[in-house]
Structure 1
Amino acid sequence: MSVQWRKGLAIVEGCALVALGLVFLNSSHLLVSGVAGWALIIEHWIPLSFGGLFFLLNCPFFVLSWLTLGRAFTFKSLAAIAFVSLLSDALMASIALQATPQWLAALIAGGLIGAGLTWIMRHGASLGGVNIVAVWAEHRYDLQAGQTLFAADCLVALVGAWVFNGWELLWSLMGFVVLSWVVGRYHKRDQQRREEAEECESPSVELGAR
């Protein structure tokens, strides 16, 4: 299997983890990180599906992605967002998790989404919005992606206070901490550079083998 196919499959796997994590959060009435969190908040006021709002809110951020991170990153991120939007809508329509305690849903969702984001970013894509800002800041200023995501999540929680009650906000913040910790712990810029170098070297290796 070629490097590009492996990277594409890894992004799909990461998207599936994120979509499943969103199901836990939505079913337990908890907030989620970044633009997805804004989509969950706005969903209470505008009669649009979560997936539709998630996709629409992401669109402005792709100007930054196109100008600073390149076409390949932008197209892969768009594909990842479209897949998460469709899969999350499908899962939310078919899976009910109302019996899951909110604290447990926050822990599981934070771990799933954090792992999914790590896997997606490691293979040269993002889920738009704050993820794009985090990747850009990491490339430009060497800022840790997990810290950028957590700072943005705190703003989501602040606005979410208008919609969610105290306990829901508390468990949501716990989920944000877990998500940020997973990304900070397992998303290593050095490892991503090595994988990018492997991708660049692979065509020459195949050519030499011929």
Structure 2
Amino acid sequence: MDSSETPTPPRHRTYEDIQALLTGTLFVALGISMFGHTGLLTGGTAGVAFLLHYATGWNFGLLFFAVNVPFYGLAWKRMGRAFTLKTFVAVGLLALLTNVLPTLVHFDALHPLFSAVMGGLLMGAGMLILFRHRASLGGFNVLVLYLQERFGWRAGRIQMVLDCTIVLCSFAVVDWQHTALSVLGAVVLNQTLATNHRAGRYMGL
């Protein structure tokens, strides 16, 4: 076989995609629960939903689902039907899980610094699982994945800039200590993506 030929990447089977959607959204939901328990914020549309949740007291899951609605058109046009449908399912699952997890998991003691690091790692790992199965959590995930596929820019780097910008807006609703820890969580999350999600490194579809 000619070494110059690019091997055809293996496609994920349906049950593998289902498992990835469940696992990825569960990881992210647990990270969000940790952030919510310690009063931290994250980036992306989840960060926007957190800001609205802290400011109004409205349900986070419903806010997260609503904030993502405008991005499905871009996902359908730029990333295709399969990506859009899996993203829609992932967003719905995350909205559901963020409401269910508090009834299943309780934190008696959770240090904000640990929450920022561990929660960021969990969300980064969960998003990585979704990305590798051609899904996302909507919003900025759609944009950064498109930019990576179109221009080869690292998704984690772009996401980090967007997320830190949103987290810095948290000065309006939380104190500077929680803002600083939220920025740390965003950096941990996106460094996880930047290190492990590079164009051409993972060949599954």
Same fold (TM > 0.5): yes
| 1:166 has 2:176 as partner | yes
1:56 pairs with 2:45: no
1:1-210 correspondence runs (5 A): 3-97=13-107, 99-192=109-202, 194-196=203-205
Amino acid at match of 1:37: G
Deviation larger for 102-111 or 148-157: 148-157
Unaligned runs of 5+ in 2: 1-11
TM-score when normalising by structure 1? 0.88
Amino acid paired to 1:162: A
Superposed CA deviations along residues 15-67 of structure 1, whole A, max 9, x for unmatched, are: 11000000100000000121101101101233420000000000111111011
Give TM-score, length-normalised by structure 2: 0.90
Equivalent residues, number = 194
Which amino acid in the other structure matches residue 160 of structure 1?
Answer: S
1:202 maps to what in 2?
none
The residue type paired with residue 184 of structure 2 is: M
Aligned amino acid, residue 82 of structure 1:
G
Segments of 4+ in structure 1 off by > 2 A?
44-48, 92-99
Across the aligned residues of Structure 1 and Structure 2, the Cα RMSD in angstroms comes to 1.4
Unaligned segments of structure 1, at least 5 residues: 197-210
Q: Give 1 or 2: higher helix fraction.
A: 1
CA distance in 2, matches of 1:97, 1:171: 18
1:93 CA drift (Å)? 4.2
SS of match in other structure, 1:41: helix
Q: Paired residue for 2:6?
A: none
Alpha carbons 1:27, 1:96 under 8 Å: kept: no
Q: Contact 1:28/1:98 (CA < 8 Å) preserved in 2?
A: no
Q: CA deviation at 1:154?
A: 1.6
**What percent identity do the matched residue pairs reach?**
31
Residues in 2 aligned to 1:91 and 1:103: alpha-carbon distance in whole angstroms: 21
SS across alignment from 1:64:
helix
